[in-house]
Structure 1
Amino acid sequence: MKINQKYYYVNKVITCVFVLAFIIMTCAVSVRAEVEQEETTPSRITFSSLEETIDSYVAMNQKNTAAVSVVAIKNGETIVNKAYGYADLEQQRKADTSTVFEWGSTSKLLVWTSVMQLVEQGKLDLDTDIQGYLPEGFLKKLEYDAPITLMNLMHHNAGWEDRLIDLWYSSESDIVELGEALQKFEPRQIDKPGSVVAYSNYGTAMAAYIVEVQSGQPFYKYVNEHIFKPLKHERHIDSPITIR
């Protein structure tokens, strides 16, 4: 009788352990399924925590930042639209979502949007040597035989040194065509394509010129027709679109 009672308690303990394990596994699977179902950004930040993540990042870097405006849109739905810092630091005037910023490298977004539009149309390929899109002999200072692709330009690893050139003009009549400027100020290629990441204004300007060549339009006209006008129509507004 004592043996049977002993086995009874052992079986009871084993049963409880299995039940507890089953409950834990069930809860874990439910939580995991819930996490997997929640949409994330390409960097794996969940949309529900995106605003909190941005708030935290801005707070960590506020000593080095005067002002910043952040907009995140997914499938036409605005997820985050916030401004941080001061539009006028001296007057302590805070920035808001209507604050206008200087363009700067924001214009690079227009370049890559244009490139990807042409990729979707089959007019450009991200892995093709860009010399196939350029006039023959366009680039004269290449040091490596390895091809430069649009993917290299997008990742800033085409190998060019970056130089602050051709950025300011005293009059509109001094401005030269994009292709002419690229040939006139071609930088040295100091690294093999794909080997070193180095910020390159020249590489982005090259991508804009390739958009010109493939579309048959000056870059500014292409952007106006294929980005600004569709956005203006989508927003149903009559005033110019502000890029910030």
Structure 2
Amino acid sequence: MNSSTQPLNRLYVWCFLNLLTVQLASAQSALTTAKLHRLDQRITQLMDSAHVPGLSIAIIQSGKVVYTKGYGLTKADSTQPVTPATVFEAASLTKPVFAYAVLQLVEEGKLDLDKPLYTYLPYSDVADDERYQQLTARMVLSHRSGFPNWRNDRQSPHLSLLFPPGKRFSYSGEGFVYLQKVVEKITNQPINELMEERVLKPLGMTKSGFVWKPSFAANVAQPHNESGETEPKYKPQQANMAYSMHTTASDYARFILAIVNNKGLKPATVDQMLSPQSQLPKRFADSTTLAPDLFWGLGFGLERTPKATYFWHWGDNGAFKCYVAANRSRKDAVIYFANGSNGLDFADEILTQTLGGYHPAFGFLGINWREEVRKRTQAK
């Protein structure tokens, strides 16, 4: 070959490879667009059948938000559309955000995960049962406090233990309330102020809060019952780390990105947060039979399947429902919020069309994880 033609031939090869790369990227983009179009259509159908007026979703791939979308209306009899900036009640998705702040205190040496909480702050509500003195922050965050989810009379100053702390998994908002009081004591800060300072501001979650903010009113989702009828809107005046957070799909995606990108916590701390601390039963209401692939970490649920591991959480404030699931190694996630009582009925299908894979948490929660869908996703 003439040496003078070699640079020209290399140029031809370079142009061909670049053209091929562009064509492949365009094909992948078109496929992604088609998938998202089908997702939009399917979500709209699911919302209609479940009488859910509005929904907002954020999808993360490879550590970046690649899609946000609002569907339907903030209120069934209004014309205001839901957008990615619409504020929803986060319900129990509040708990992992609080866990994130608690683990920051652990890193700073201000709180010991395994030191009994009563040594920081005795709890008069349960002081007549000395077993509570075994309770630690680790047990609260992994739902092994021994407390019920909520006491029968929410106005009562008396709280009873169902079993000794640390014995087994039992989901409890009461445990988070006690840990909240401990955090306020050791930091000498109101919890709302602390959460704004440690989480919302650093992560740029500008449309979120743990108490009601007047700025929410311009674009807030209203709650709807199972028939799609509007109910009164809860506007918290006091922060509760079990359920009071208000946020948007876009803002909550910022929090999930902080987890998968080790922002605000050391990688070793995130490792611990997403490591099994307690094993879950196969069914939420049945503690007798343990699930081989379901666990709880420090703030999140964990699914271990043959092909992937996910961390997840659900939220249920009655007329508001929400769900998040994420794969840390791939840095993929989906988050959605719905303003209807039936908003979790189709969580399985949304995950099938976004994250894919098999999600045994739906069996634990009693969500509509249909057998044919399970078999199809397991075969992939």
How does the TM-score come out when normalised to structure 2? 0.37
Structure 2 residue matching 1:81: 3-state secondary structure: strand
In terms of fraction of residues, the more strand-rich structure is 2
1:206 aligns with 2:193: no
CA shift, 1:155, in A, is 2.3
Instruction: Output the amino acid matched with 1:243.
Output: T
- Cross-structure match for 1:149: 136
Secondary structure of the residue aligned to 2:68 is strand
Q: CA deviation at 1:102?
A: 3.0
The structure where helix makes up a greater share of residues is 1
Amino acid at match of 2:108: Q
Structure 1: how far apart are the matches of 2:169 and 2:51? 24
Q: Which residue of 1 aligns with 2:13?
A: none
User: In 1, Cα distance between the equivalents of 2:185 and 2:90?
Assistant: 24
Mapped pair 1:243 → 2:215: no
Contact 1:114–1:211 (CA under 8 A) maintained in structure 2: no
- In the TM superposition, residue 243 of structure 1 has moved relative to its aligned partner by 1.9
Q: Distance in 1 between the 2:121 and 2:145 partners?
A: 15
Question: Can you list the C-alpha shifts for 1:47-81, whole angstroms capped at 9, x where unaligned?
Answer: x9xx98xx699789752755443446689732553
The change in CA–CA distance for 1:187 and 1:139 in structure 2 (over 3 A counts) is: closer
Matched, 1:100 2:72: no
1:185 aligned to which of 143, 146, 157? 157
Alpha-carbon distance change, 70 to 148 in structure 1, aligned in 2, over 3 angstroms = farther
Structure 1 gap segments, 5+ residues each: 1-47, 167-183
Q: Is the counterpart of residue 228 in structure 1 residue 200 in structure 2?
A: yes
Identity %: 25
1:194 counterpart = 2:166: yes
Check conservation: 2:126, 2:132, Cα contact below 8 A: no
On the 8 A contact 1:143/1:190 being kept in 2, the answer is no
Q: Could you tell me whether the CA contact under 8 Å between 2:58 and 2:68 is conserved in 1?
A: yes
Q: TM-score, normalised by structure 1?
A: 0.53
1:1-244 pair list within 5 angstroms: 62=47, 63=50, 66-71=53-58, 77-84=64-71, 86-91=73-78, 94-135=81-122, 139-142=126-129, 144=131, 147-161=134-148, 162-163=150-151, 165=154, 185-232=157-204, 243-244=247-248
CA distance in 2, matches of 1:142, 1:74: 48
CA distance in 1 between counterparts of 2:114 and 2:154 reads: 28
Deviation per CA, 1:89-133, whole angstroms, max 9, x where unpaired? 345865321212135334334422221110121211222222222
Q: CA deviation at 1:140?
A: 0.7
- How far residue 136 of structure 1 moved from its aligned partner, in angstroms, is 8.0
State how far apart, in whole Å, the 1-side matches of 2:110 and 2:92 are.
25
Name the CA distance, whole Å, in 1 between partners of 2:206 and 2:91. 25
Equivalent position amino acid for 1:142 in 2: D
Q: Report if aligned partners of 2:110, 2:186 keep a CA contact under 8 Å in 1.
A: yes
How much has 1:143 moved relative to structure 2?
Answer: 6.0
CA RMSD of aligned residues (A): 4.1
- Stretches (4+) displaced over 6 A: 56-61, 239-242
The alpha-carbon distance between structure 1 residues 117 and 101, as it changes in their structure 2 partners (threshold 3 A), is: same
Q: How far does residue 223 in structure 1 lie from its aligned partner after superposition?
A: 1.6
List per-residue Cα deviations over 1:165-213 (Å, max 9, x = no partner): 25xxxxxxxxxxxxxxxxx634100122233433322111112112111
Flag the structure with larger Rg.
1
Q: Using the alignment, how far apart are the partners of 2:131 and 2:162 within structure 1?
A: 9
Q: Distance in 1 between matches of 2:46 and 2:113?
A: 34
Structure 2 unmatched ranges of 5 or more: 1-31, 208-213, 217-245, 249-380
